Amino acid sequence: MFERIAQSIRKQGIPAHKTVLTAGLYYDGTQHGELFDAVLISIDKTETNYSRRPIEKAIRQAIRNRDGITYRPQECNPYYYTYWIVRAADFERADQLNRISRAYLEGFWQAIHDHGDAARANNAALAIEAGHAAIQAAGISA
């Protein structure tokens, strides 16, 4: 389905590629995170005369009659328009997983910063513990 969406958008002159959206990635001895099927659009702003309209029109046309599929712009580059097309439920799940990974990573790296000896000794147990504590303190779960 996502390849067909990408093809439909490409037919309208907008570059689109089937890929995966990653979410919630962190490692504490176990790799956490998930991958979601997606379409990624990234186009130089000059190619659309600095207008989002042709992109969003192409997206809406490609996903019409596809229940549960939606899109979201991503502001990541001042020269490009970037959009993700994903199942709405996957966007929700990705947002939740990203909140968890951000909390974990902030706690983990703060512990490394505060206790540099753990990093030098290649013993991240303190930092992993701090990451888990940060998730609990944030009150979030998968």
Q: Kindly report, residue by residue over 5-37, the tens digit of the pLDDT.
A: 999 999 999 999 999 999 999 999 999 999 999
Binning pLDDT at 50, 70 and 90, where does residue 135 land?
very high
DSSP type of residue 29: S
pLDDT of residue 47: 94
Break the chain into its structural domains and give their ranges.
2-138
DSSP E strands, the chain: 16-27, 31-44, 69-74, 80-87
Binning pLDDT at 50, 70 and 90, where does residue 121 land?
low
Please answer whether residues 84 and 40 qualify as being in contact, where contact means their C-beta atoms are separated by less than 8 angstroms: yes
Please answer whether residues 42 and 9 qualify as being in contact, where contact means their C-beta atoms are separated by less than 8 angstroms: no
Q: Which percentage of the chain shows pLDDT scores above 90?
A: 80
- Whether residue 142 has pLDDT greater than 80: no
Angstrom distance (rounded) from CA 57 to CA 59: 5
pLDDT of residue 86: 98
- Whether residue 53 has pLDDT greater than 60: yes
Q: Provide the whole-model pTM.
A: 0.85
What is the pLDDT averaged over residues 41-48? Answer: 96
Please state the separation of Cα 135 from the chain's center in Å: 19
